[in-house]
Amino acid sequence: MITEFVITAGEQPKRLDIFLVGRERDASRSALQRLIEVGRIRVNDQLVKPSHKIKPGDKITMDVPKPEPLSIKGEAIPLEVLFEDDSLLVLNKPPGIVVHPAPGNWSGTLVNALLHHFQTSGGTISTIGGKERPGLVHRLDKETSGVMVITKTDTAHRALAAQFKLHTITRVYEALVWGVPKKGRGVIDLAIGRDSKDRKKFSSRTTSPKESVTEYVVTRRYGKVAAHVLLYPQTGRTHQLRVHLTSLGHPILGDRTYGGNKVMVLADIEVPRVMLHARTLGFTHPATGTGEEFTRPFPADMERVIYALEQRIVSKDRTSTPSGATDVNVINEELC
């Protein structure tokens, strides 16, 4: 539903999100900020930030989707729990599952699975994320697999959220990328934000750039067609790893959004999804103060792609490498 109105004379300059909170009583500030960021709320037909200062005479256009009835129920979806106590739960998220409910995905999400888990176990879950994101201090994309932490109390949520904000969390990802980076290791320092032309993507072409830094290390080459890399994000922007690797000219295999069709099939090997896995997550336990670290190897679908690359690319290169020559498939220490 689209509504338009003009800021009346006498209205004091203030942030757009704050002004709208006072006007739209049924919407939270965070919900309004999300609508502004995706372009559903505009000022004078222009994309703006939530911090934009409104003034008398400004025309506000709001294209707010009709809310769907939200009744999030627990669902008996299997969870691979790595650790659980009274403060938090650590799990290994499988690929293909959306983390939290949203329009078009009100069921079958990780949150639905978590609600069922806590309902049957008698545990609690943090309420700070609201009804749609209970217990969530971070998230992984639908196709990304790997280690996640869920908070069970509001105290734990605040403590872990502070660690994420200060970038004291240990995070290691691994990915299979198209082509082979020239350097065996490096740091990608590229500010990104929501793309100014395609609001579903993130890039350096943005009106709201945010500092984004990723360290990468190449650990394995598959001829010249692909590589296995470890990724150490120093910031936590949406789609950061996917955008940063694309900026190098080496998008993640299976990432059609940023790599196009060329990354979906490689040497006749079909790539089933974005080949990105959150391998390691480390943090200070919010209740005990002890250091915790959890690691899970990449799942079976990534293993199958790696096996196919080994059989079709590496084996071929080895048979064609002259005696005494250096194998093109080298480990990280040789690359660096």
Most confident of 13-27, 80-94, 113-127: 80-94
Catalytic residue, chosen from 45, 63, 86, 141, is 141
Given a cut of 70, whether residue 98 has pLDDT beyond it is yes
The total of structural domains in the chain comes to: 3
Q: Pinpoint the alpha helices (H) of 1-83.
A: 16-23, 29-37
Q: Which residues constitute the domain of residue 59?
A: 2-63
Burial of 311 (0-12, 13-18, 19+ CB in 10 A): exposed
The pLDDT value recorded for residue 336 is 33
Which one of 141, 166, 191 terminates a domain?
166
- Claim to verify: residue 176 and residue 313 sit in the same structural domain: yes
Residue 321 is predicted with a pLDDT of 45
Give 37-88 pLDDT, tens digit per residue.
989 999 999 999 999 999 999 999 998 776 554 568 899 999 999 999 999 9
Q: Which long-range contacts (CB under 8 A, 24 or more apart) does 203-209 make?
A: 203/243, 204/243, 204/247, 207/47, 207/49, 208/37, 208/49
pTM (2 d.p.): 0.75
Last residue within a domain, chosen from 34, 63, 92: 63
**Residues facing residue 210 across a β-bridge:** 192
- Predicted pLDDT of residue 324: 35
What pLDDT was estimated at residue 146?
98
* Other beta carbons less than 10 A from residue 89's beta carbon: 22
141 is catalytic: yes
CATH code: domain of residue 41 = 3.10.290.10
pLDDT bucket at 162, cuts 50 / 70 / 90: very high
Question: What is the band of 21 on the pLDDT scale with cuts at 50, 70, 90?
Answer: confident
Whether residue 288 sits in one domain with residue 259: yes
- Please check whether residues 227 and 330 belong to one and the same domain: yes
Contact 63, 51 (CB under 8 A): no
Burial class for 229, CB neighbours closer than 10 Å (0-12, 13-18, 19+): buried
Residues 235 and 330 in one domain: yes
Structure-token match 């800021």, residue found = 7
Chosen domain end from 63, 81, 96:
63
SS3 labels along 227-285: EEEEEEECCCCCCHHHHHHHHCCCCECCCHHHHCHHHCEECCEECCCCCEEEEEEEEEC
Tens-place pLDDT, residues 227-253: 999 999 999 999 999 999 999 999 999
| Predicted local distance difference test score (pLDDT) of residue 335 | 33
